[in-house]
Structure 1
Amino acid sequence: MKGYWIILGSAVTDTDAQQEYARLWAPIAERYGAKLKALDPAALLESHNSKRVLAVEFPSYALAKACYEDPAYAEAKAFALRAARRELMVIEGILGD
C-alpha cells in the first residue's frame, strides 16, 4: 500500500528558505520515489492558518516513514520550517487521482 505525507501549510514567508528546501528535497525525493501532488486548497473547508495543501506520494508507507526519518531530510526540514508554518502527517492508503 502507498504511503503519503499530507502537509497543511501557511503561506511561504521566507522564499530563500523555501528555495533551499526545494534544492535539498529534489535528490531525497528521487531516492525515495516521492511524487509531489499539490491539492486544491479549496478542499480545505475548515482552517485557521493553512493556505497550501500538499500530498507527497511514496511507493509504500515504509518508504514514507523512512524518508521522514532520514538525516538528509532532517537538514532539509529545517529550511521548510523556516519557510512556512506547517503540519505534516504520514498515512497509508491510496488517494484518488
Structure 2
Amino acid sequence: MKGYWIIFASDVIDTEAQQEYGRLWKPISDQYGAKLKVLEESALVESESTYRVLAVEFPNYQQAKACYHDPAYVEAKQFAQRASRREMIIMEADLK
C-alpha cells in the first residue's frame, strides 16, 4: 500500500516562508518519490479554519514516515509551519 501525508492548512500567511519551504521540499520529495496532489476546494465540505487540503503520495507507508523524520525535512518543516497553520496525518492506503 502507498503512504500519504494528508495536510489541512490555512491560507498562506508568510509567502517568503512558503517559497523557502518549496525550495527545500523539491530535493526531499525527489529522494522519497513523493507526489503532491492538491485536492479541489469542493473536497473540503466542513471546516472552520482549513482552506487548503493537500495529499502527498509516497510509494509506501514506510517512505512517508521516513521522510517526515528525515533531518532535511525537519529543517524544511519549520518554514511550512511559518507559512500557514496546518495539521497533518500520515496514513497507509490505496487512494485512487
- TM superposition score category, shorter chain reference: over 0.9
Alignment of 1:7-26 (within 5 A): 7-26=7-26
Q: Take 2:12 and 2:25, find their aligned partners in 1: how far apart are those partners?
A: 16
Question: What SS does the corresponding residue of 2:50 show, helix, strand or coil?
Answer: coil
Q: Take 2:43 and 2:20, find their aligned partners in 1: how far apart are those partners?
A: 28
Partner of 1:53: 53
Q: Take 2:90 and 2:16, find their aligned partners in 1: how far apart are those partners?
A: 26
Q: For 1:3-38, what per-residue CA distance to the aligned partner results, in whole angstroms no more than 9, with x for missing partners?
A: 000001000000000000000000000000000000
Partner of 1:39: 39
Q: Take 2:74 and 2:40, find their aligned partners in 1: how far apart are those partners?
A: 27
Q: TM-score, normalised by structure 1?
A: 0.97
Aligned residues: 96
Partner of 2:84: 84
In structure 1, stretches of 5+ residues that fail to align are: none
Q: Take 2:95 and 2:60, find their aligned partners in 1: how far apart are those partners?
A: 13
RMSD over equivalenced CA pairs, Å: 0.5
Instruction: Show structure 1 runs of 4+ deviating over 6 A.
Output: none
Alpha-carbon offset, residue 43 of structure 1 = 1.1
**Paired AA for residue 75 in structure 1:** E
Q: TM-score, normalised by structure 2?
A: 0.98
Identity fraction in percent:
65
Alpha-carbon offset, residue 83 of structure 1 = 0.2
